[in-house]
Every structure is written in structure tokens, then in C-alpha cells.
Amino acid sequence: MALNLIMLGPPGAGKGTQAERFARSRGIPKISTGDTLRAAVAAGTEIGRRAKATMDRGELVGDDVMIGIVKERLERDDVRSGFVLDGFPRTVAQAVALDEIMKGRDPLIIVEIVVPSSELVRRLASRMICEDCGANGEPDELVCGRCNGRLVQRTDDNEDVVLERLKVYNAQTKPLVDFYRARPTFRVINGAQPPDKVAAELAAAIESEGP
């Protein structure tokens, strides 16, 4: 049985970190639409230029672009044993499209990571990423642990934009919780804990769903 996991939660909840850890521990790919979009921005592609202005304003990239990226990615051979989706779906329309993409496959396991808004603002306003590979930086480090690139603040992580991103999340993305809540594979994780404790709680929740 394939392990198909969705990570939900607001910006700064730790979705990316936990998704990467879990995917690595299970030997399945982590699919981050955010990473895909940032790579396109860095490469200066047409979709990257379209997405950059939207991302810099703290707004969400259009459903059509996001759905197309995910559909193509989920057609690759390396997802046969499962995958971890980070950053998708973000709207109910995207969730409906994902259900269509997933027809005939093993069911989705949905995990919502919950963190208080005040903690999210604190985290995001101090977050650094690598300007070369896009990886999140560790606290108090100046260079990327993955590629030794320089760590910089994301253009969409200043406090004003962070507040706008949380407002957008609450208005457009949080309805996903209502969309998925009734499913037997829906779980809630406390993200306001040290990363190791969040990872342990996540693993326990997934184990309760099998495999």
C-alpha cells in the first residue's frame, strides 16, 4: 500500500521540515510546490516570472499553475510507493482536483500542523533560506548546511508580508480543514513543540493509519 501524505498548516508551521524528515525516513519523495516555484523564479522562466510578483506580495499562485505542476509530478515512477505533498493543496479547488488525480490510487492521509499565530509571526520574521538551493537555514548559521550557499531572508518573510500571508491562509486555505476533517485519515498535530517531538507525534499519527 502506498503512503500518500498531505501536510497542511499555515506558513511557518514547520510543514517543509517535517515533510522532508518523514519522506526521508520512509524512502518516498517529498514534493514541495514551493521549492518548484522558487526554482522557476531563480531560473527566470516564464512561470517563475509570473509567480515571483505574486509570491512577493504574499499572495497565492493561481490554481491552474499549481494543479498542473502537481499532476505532472504525480505521474512519475518514483511516487509508486507514496509521497509527501508540502504546500499543496492550498485551496478547496486544488483539493478537488487532487481527488481527481488520485482516483484509482491508495487513499490520502491528511495531517494538519497547528501553531499559534504569534509563534508563526516570530518564526517567519527570523527565517533564513539559502539563496542558491532554497533550503531553510538553521538558527544562528550564516551559510547553508546543504550547499554552503549564503543564507538570506526570504522576500516574503518580512513582518508585514507575513501578516498578509497568514490573512490569505485563513481566508483561502483554512477551509481545507473543513473539506478533509470528516475523512478517517485526517489527523491534527501540535506544531508548537520542538521539531523532534513534532516528528514523533507525526510518525505516531501515520502509524495509526497503517502502513
Q: Is 165 a catalytic residue?
A: yes
Q: Is 38 a catalytic residue?
A: no
The pLDDT tens digits for 41-78 are 787 877 778 778 887 888 877 887 788 778 878 888 99
How many Å apart are CA 21 and CA 62, to the nearest integer? 28
- Tell me, what's the pLDDT at 68? 77
The pLDDT tens digits for 23-37 are 999 999 998 877 777
What are the distances in angstroms from CA 153 to CA 111, 126, 160, 194?
A: 28, 8, 14, 22
What is the percentage of the chain residues whose pLDDT exceeds 90?
36
Q: Please tell me what DSSP assigns to residue 102.
A: T
Helices 33-43 and 63-73: crossing angle in degrees, nearest 10, is: 110
Domains of the chain: 3-116+172-207 (3.40.50.300)
Residue 210 pLDDT > 50: no
Per annotation, catalytic residue among 146, 154, 181, 187: 154
Per annotation, catalytic residue among 165, 181, 183, 187: 165
Q: Please tell me what DSSP assigns to residue 169.
A: I
Q: Is 49 a catalytic residue?
A: no
- For the purposes of burial, counting CB atoms within 10 Å of the CB of 194, is it exposed (0-12), middle (13-18) or buried (19 or more)? exposed
Mean pLDDT of 105-114: 93
Q: Is 127 a catalytic residue?
A: yes
Q: What amino acid is encoded at 152 in this protein?
A: V
Residue 155 pLDDT > 70: no
